[in-house]
Amino acid sequence: MARAGLGNRWKCVLANDFDSIKVKCYAENWGIDDLIPGDIRSVTPNIVPDNLDLAWASTPCQNFSSAGMGEGLLGASSSVFTAWWEIIQKKYISGTHPKIIVLENVKGLLKSRNGQDFKTVAESFGFGGYNFGVVVVDAIHFLPQSRPRIFLVAVRDDIEIPAHLLSPDPAEIWHPDDLISALDNLPKALRQRHVWWRLPPPPLVALTLSDVLERDASVWHTPEQTQKLMAAMSLINIGKIRKVSSPDSLVVGTLFRRMRPHEGQMRSFTEVRLDGVAGCLRASDGGSSRQMLIFIEGETIKTRHMTARESARLMGLPDDYSLPAAKTHAAKVIGDGVAVPVVQFLADSLLSPLALAGKYSSLKLS
């Protein structure tokens, strides 16, 4: 999905993933010429071309996310960052490291292991030949899905950053308080390597949840299944449904199953969202149930699971993008991805201008 967002202005020369489902999906959409399947630890620096304009990593988020176990970089999945970074550093030693690097992940990275993981990543960039900035971009600015993600964008320290890409101060929309706090907790020497990226205002989103639905989707839950979901709702969530219920209009929302504390024990509750925006899509193996849809028209309530194509549209993928046939496999590919318009926004407003920056020079940051 990062490749889809970067578009035709960028040429991909190497792609890697360990997961066989994602590898097959990538091959079906992009071919295999640049694809190296398997563990990133098996990718040696000599395979990676020298002086790349961009190296992008969307590393596994399970160990940082609220649905994970909180192991951070110590977790088996997220530790692949270390292997990826070792390739970058070996290129740095030979003076052939990428011009720009991007690391994308969930916001949980900011607080993982009391901020130690964010510090480790920042130290890797800042003391490894790069100046870096961090932004939080929520897909909700581009699509009807709430999906905040952090993007660490770093530039070789021998490249002069164009002044129009730098801001003297943080912008609230791209630099929320928890990000600023995480940066404030970094050592002073590392903060001197940090810059505030200047991004334009986000576009106005015209799409709503209803706009991405497949009108002919007919895999409805049985009345008994719907009633079971309703019975697991709190009074607050039942009240949300009653508030929007009208025989003159159809309201579409999303449903989630969540484990919440109740009377000293953990219990499964159904929660509803009715603001025309989907919650964050997650992989089928990410520790959280698949997102469902609820259709409310007066006293009539129907529910069903979201289709793979609807989920893909919520990530900004075109309808001709090939998806796995199995629903759980499609959910994994989509839920682990990055929203395509977000990547396009970053490419247009930051990455492409950086890649086209003028001659190399020493950049000193105060």
Taking only the tens place, the pLDDT of each residue in 225-262 is: 999 999 999 999 999 999 999 999 999 999 998 888 87
Residue 83 within a domain? yes
Residues 201 and 223 in one domain: no
151 with 294, same domain: the answer is no
Look at residue 64 in the predicted model and tell me its pLDDT.
Answer: 47
Pair (105, 238) in one structural domain: no
Contact at 8 Å (CB) between 73 and 79?
yes
> Per the domain annotation, does 361 fall within a domain?
no
Report helix angle 20-30 to 327-335, nearest 10: 80
Residues 151 and 104: beta-carbon distance below 8 Å: yes
pLDDT score recorded for residue 270: 95
200 lies in the same domain as 222:
no
Q: Which two tokens stand for residue 198?
A: 């200047």
167: tokens are 């801001």
Q: Which of 123, 247, 140 is nearest to 190 (CA)?
A: 123
Determine, yes or no, domain membership for 316: no
**What pLDDT is attached to residue 112?**
87
| Pair (19, 161) in one structural domain | yes
Structural domains of the chain, count:
2
CA distance 127 to 141: 33
pLDDT value for 360: 43
- The verdict on 173 and 246 lying in the same domain is no
- For residue 71, the tally of other CB atoms under 10 A from its CB is 17
Domain contains 364: no
Q: Are residues 136 and 259 in the same domain?
A: no
| Same domain membership, residue 178 and residue 101 | yes
Domain residue limits at 11: 2-206+337-355
Asked if 292 and 194 sit in the same domain, the reply is no
- Output the domain CATH number for residue 168: 3.40.50.150
Type of residue at 53? D
| Residues 142 and 345: beta-carbon distance below 8 Å | yes
State the burial class of residue 348 (Cβ atoms within 10 Å of its Cβ: 0-12, 13-18, 19+). middle
Q: Say whether both 56 and 110 belong to one domain.
A: yes
In the chain, which stretches have pLDDT less than 70? 61-78, 284-289, 358-366
The verdict on residue 222 lying in a domain is yes
For residues 125 and 119, the answer to whether their CB atoms sit within 8 Å is no
The residue type at 208: T
Amino acid at 343: V
Residue found by looking up tokens 């759980």 in the block? 328
**pLDDT of res. 73:** 57
Residues 45 and 174 in one domain: yes
The whole-number pLDDT of residue 357 equals 83
Tell me, yes or no, whether 201 and 80 share the same domain.
yes
Whether 101 is covered by a domain: the verdict is: yes
**Would residue 15 be called left, alpha or beta, if left means φ above 0 and alpha means ψ between -120 and 50 degrees?**
beta
